[in-house]
Structure 1
Amino acid sequence: MRDYKKYDTWKIAHELVKEIYTISENFPKSELFGLASQIRRAAVSIPTNIAEGCGRFTDKEFARFLDISIGSTNETEYLLLLSCDLGFTSKDKIADLNATLNLTRQKLIQLRKKLLNNN
């Protein structure tokens, strides 16, 4: 079984989640169970699926959970765009988050390819 905490991809995604929690604290209270909750769940899904995939026994199974994490990076990116368009946060605040999301997605894709090429 793999230790998810040793993966740089997981470490980056974990830090991203903490940043998104901080930013979403400033969303309107009316969004606590709406957009704030949705963006947090999408972001949390990224490192969570890496961790869950590490508990699987085959590279192919692990790669499937990385697929889900990749999808969650896309969802999180869109929700950040929406939060900016709705005026809940600024383009400046999400620029760094988007850079981190892009790095995370890139690393997830590379790891997935490596896993699937081992089979």
Structure 2
Amino acid sequence: MGRVSDTRHEDRACSAALARAFGFLGKRWNGMILATLLEGPAGFAELRRAVGKVHDSVLSERLNELGSAGLVERVVAEGPPLAVSYRLTERGQALLPALRELTTWAEANLPE
């Protein structure tokens, strides 16, 4: 009979930080909103057009979530007319290298 190996395998687990990142950035629309804002500040209507078929209430909810996470800030320019735009914070801008790499990978590896 063959000898039974006593080799123990460690349980594998995804990094908790990576799981949080994908849970947050993978939430529908969040990544696309951030990617749009990488090009510079944008108003609500411009974001809605850039992102696609997102309802106003959902876009508003996502912008609030991104703001609460410290990635996006709402900027109000006193008017008249009053103008509201959204821009990435320094924390949001820190995502730029990762989003660029992810975009490059997706272009090369994911079919349309």
TM-score normalised over the length of structure 2 = 0.30
Which structure has the highest helix share of the two? Answer: 1
The higher-RCO structure (CA 8 Å, 6+ apart) is 1
TM-score normalised over the length of structure 1 = 0.29
Which structure has the highest strand share of the two? Answer: 2
